[in-house]
Structure 1
Amino acid sequence: MINNTLSLFQLCDSNFPNGAFSQSFGLETYIQIDIVHDADSFLEWLEVYVKEQLTHADGLAVRLVYEALEEDDLDTVWELDRLLRVQNLARESREGTQRMGDGMLHIATSIYESDLLKMYRNRVRDKRAFGHPAIVFAIAGYHLQVDKETTISYYLYSTIVGLVQNAVRAIPLGQTTGQKIIHSFQAQLQEATNKIMQLDETELGVVSPGLELSQMQHERVGIRIFSS
């Protein structure tokens, strides 16, 4: 189990080539209008993002996919793939997430001997699914027999690490400051995991309008270094 857990943690590496380094999911909009401009204001944005979007979208999806796999209910997995796509209203974030999912799926199928991952990749290739990193991660966690809560926690952690690294470049912040933010956020990630374990499936996609608007407005910011 230890080796399997470490194997899943490989997907959390900030250098994992899934394209997350090019996505800010609306953060850059807040930087452009000077709402986020230092470590404290970024931490405030990150807290809202985790509580209002990551928890109710990707995080809850990881749990629901994992539970569907436990019940051998693949139809629910494919439906969650569709819901994650159509509920993501911002075009850039929707397309960026799909690219991340495709990149993660491509690498995951090459390092894990999982028929489920191969099936998912074939569905994406045949345009019967869109591809989403949360679903890829959940399938990998299930395949490796990493427990559900750990799989959720790792996914949240991987997302936070990516966003912090992007904030280090964009605000900018020092690398030491970035690492301090990641360290200080551990308790909140555990709280988010606990909340995800209690959410009803009908709460999938409950997202803060302000975050969605910032992701839509990113298409029109003057100078940018991110795709979303």
Structure 2
Amino acid sequence: MDNTIMLTDNHLLSILQLASPALPVGAYSYSEGLEMLVENGTIANHTHLKDWLKAELLYGAIRLEAAVMVRSQQAVKIGDVESVCRWNLWLSAARETEELRASSWQMGRSLIQLLGKLEPQIIPIANAVGNPCNYAIAFGIAVAHWQISIQAALLGYLHSWASNLITAGVKLIPLGQTAGQQLLLDLQPLFSVAALEILALEDDELACCSWGLSLASMQHETQYTRLFRS
């Protein structure tokens, strides 16, 4: 598959806005189990965090989320609301802990509310999907509405996810800001590889191996001192 992406100025600016850490959806308040992993010593330095993020990109639940985002975008483009609703229910059922599901629902609700104010034309599809709406579904709706290249959207989605966890790692481990930015730069080739693999996934290939994430998330629920909500 060709990895060249052509974007208009508007499309580039739209994906930058969607993937921005300034997007008010509350992503900064979640660590996806990272806080527990730092607490128990599983992740203690730059190398540990890099290895964890690489494993998640290659095998983890983020691939499921991104794949569902793609399917949401495709369904919205052709007006297939039933498929959007079905994938929303599927992703909710695929979440392995209450905290991970709650974070996806909260961020999805926040993004849908924001999109409804910015782009009222989105309100009918948002109402059809209903509440709760997963973040990946809401992201896909925005990508379809703004007609952003799905490959660019995938890169933005993965980059935004990694940026949030690296920011959490900078605070928790702690790492320096430069180390965090170096890690984000080092992951760039893997974003491209993961995006192409995710685009090629068939429905019956949607699977992940993220039991470490699930266990960390379950333990985080009872962690004595917490900075993050997951």
TM-score (norm 2): 0.90
* 8 Å Cα contact 2:14-2:148 kept in structure 1: no
- Matching residue's letter, 1:176: T
* 8 Å Cα contact 1:64-1:201 kept in structure 2: no
Give unpaired runs (5+ residues) of structure 1. Answer: none
Structure 1 CA distance for aligned equivalents of residues 205 and 226 of structure 2? 32
1:70 CA drift (Å) = 3.2
Structure 1 CA distance for aligned equivalents of residues 126 and 77 of structure 2? 20
In structure 2, which of residues 43, 56, 59 is the aligned counterpart of residue 49 of structure 1? 56
- Matching residue's letter, 1:152: L
- Matching residue's letter, 2:184: I
Which residue of structure 1 aligns with residue 219 of structure 2? Answer: 217
Root-mean-square deviation (Å): 1.7
- Matching residue's letter, 1:209: W
CA deviation string 1:125-151 (max 9, x = no partner): xxx441112111111111111111111
Change (3 A) 1:132 1:9: same
Which residue of structure 2 aligns with residue 13 of structure 1? Answer: 20
- When structure 1 is superposed on structure 2, of 148-157 and 61-70 the one drifting more is 61-70
Question: Aligned to 1:220, what secondary structure does the other structure show?
Answer: coil
Question: Aligned to 2:60, what secondary structure does the other structure show?
Answer: helix
1:112 CA drift (Å) = 3.0
Structure 2 CA distance for aligned equivalents of residues 140 and 2 of structure 1? 17
In structure 1, which of residues 10, 15, 26 is the aligned counterpart of residue 33 of structure 2? 26
- Matching residue's letter, 2:200: Q
Structure 1 CA distance for aligned equivalents of residues 124 and 32 of structure 2? 28
Which residue of structure 2 aligns with residue 140 of structure 1? Answer: 142
1:67 CA drift (Å) = 2.0
TM-score (norm 1): 0.91
In structure 2, which of residues 190, 194, 197 is the aligned counterpart of residue 195 of structure 1? 197
In structure 2, which of residues 118, 121, 124 is the aligned counterpart of residue 119 of structure 1? 124
Alignment map for 1:82-97 (pairs within 5 Å):
82-97=89-104
1:178 CA drift (Å) = 0.9
Does 1:78 find its partner at 2:85? yes
Change (3 A) 1:207 1:105: farther
Does 1:2 find its partner at 2:15? no
Question: Aligned to 2:221, what secondary structure does the other structure show?
Answer: helix
Give unpaired runs (5+ residues) of structure 2. Answer: 1-7
In structure 1, which of residues 168, 173, 189 is the aligned counterpart of residue 175 of structure 2? 173
* 8 Å Cα contact 1:8-1:140 kept in structure 2: no
1:108 CA drift (Å) = 2.1
Identity within the alignment, %: 28
- When structure 1 is superposed on structure 2, of 84-93 and 63-72 the one drifting more is 63-72
- When structure 1 is superposed on structure 2, of 145-154 and 51-60 the one drifting more is 51-60
* 8 Å Cα contact 1:105-1:136 kept in structure 2: yes
Runs of 4+ with >4 A deviation:
none
Structure 2 CA distance for aligned equivalents of residues 43 and 52 of structure 1? 14
Q: How many residues align?
A: 223
Structure 2 CA distance for aligned equivalents of residues 56 and 201 of structure 1? 12
Which residue of structure 1 aligns with residue 151 of structure 2? Answer: 149
* 8 Å Cα contact 2:151-2:195 kept in structure 1: yes
CA deviation string 1:88-115 (max 9, x = no partner): 02111111111111112211222235x3
Change (3 A) 1:123 1:129: farther
Change (3 A) 1:108 1:205: farther
Structure 2 CA distance for aligned equivalents of residues 172 and 123 of structure 1? 43
- Matching residue's letter, 2:213: L
